[in-house]
Structure 1
């Protein structure tokens, strides 16, 4: 296991387990999932207000091509607008895990820069074993890690 993974996994697991609650104002689940029910945070990200949502709590067509945990709750204007227009939704770990069929996924190969490092580097996936930074450049390039971690239920499809 890479040296940083034992430190990151508990944090990411805690964030994912509480993701629906974290995304809501006051920790209460949204009744309709509308933008008024979500605490979008601030616009303090370097990438705020660029027309793409950089907050990993969301999924959909308006997401940035590179995602990092550092931008969670820091791209409010973009994410709010995209949720409001229907281009994004809150990503739900339980729903994604239930909908992910690992046997039906083409994981690609292991030609990525960070292949075989114990984390899934493919932006198509999220979960406690997902890399802290992911991008579209890694799609299908970390098959060994992603297929193994999917089979063990520690990553799931972002768009399910």
Structure 2
């Protein structure tokens, strides 16, 4: 009888400890406050989390810890979890996506200029972000919203305009650097003659979008 009582007590204690374990995990997450611009909108905007309960808009550092109600509710519902930051090279489909070491990693947009597509950021693409936005880029690649970019190595001609190749230092950065053009799709840095016909992809995309045109002077 004594052994039976001890066994029952042991089982009861184990169940009690297990029941306490789940809340303890949740209590370890500091959801912060609701001081963010996008708090209480039914979506979690805190980039520390990932899952279907997250917003689909770009995630900003300024919203970390400032969407507590939305994120806590989604976390409790199981539609978001804490994000695992990729610290070792992530390789999928033979592509080395790198790590999450970039400044703009985990913001729902791919910032790696090796890729192209609607899942890319619309901001300037920098060499320093190559291989440093793994989670965003791998996710977008799997979703089919980005693909590996094919560099233009032969003259690209459209509407009778020779856009040239992607042989320039500033090619594939989301801005046109060819001084033959003008418009809001142009880079704001100094235009150099050496970039004439050497930024084909950027300039063609901007031309087709109507944000640049050939200079008339």
Q: Could you tell me the TM-score, scaled by structure 1's length?
A: 0.51
CA contact (8 A) 2:106 2:135 kept: no
Aligned length: 107
Match of 1:70 among 62, 65, 89: 62
More helix by share: 1
- Corresponding residue for 1:27? none
**Bigger relative contact order, structure 1 or 2, given CA contacts below 8 A and separation 6+?**
1
Cα distance in 2 for residues equivalent to 1:130 and 1:57? 14
Q: Structure 1 residue 34: deviation in Å?
A: 3.6
CA distance in 2, matches of 1:77, 1:140: 29
Q: Provide the C-alpha distance between the structure 2 equivalents of 1:141 and 1:105, rounded to a whole number of angstroms.
A: 19
Tell me which structure has the larger Cα radius of gyration: 2
Partner of 1:112: none
1:1-160 to structure 2, matched below 5 A, reads 34-64=25-55, 65-93=57-85, 96-98=86-88, 100-101=90-91, 104=94, 127-131=100-104, 134-135=107-108, 139-140=119-120, 149-150=130-131, 154-157=132-135
Q: CA deviation at 1:62?
A: 1.3
Structure 2: which 5+ residue stretches go unaligned? 1-20, 110-116, 143-217
What residue number does 2:17 align with? none
For the residues of structure 2 that align with 1:63 and 1:46, how far apart are their CA atoms?
15
Unpaired runs of 5+ residues, structure 1, are 1-30, 108-124
Q: TM-score, normalised by structure 2?
A: 0.39
- Conserved? CA contact 1:51–1:78, under 8 Å: yes
Q: Does the 8 A contact of 2:49 with 2:80 survive in 1?
A: yes
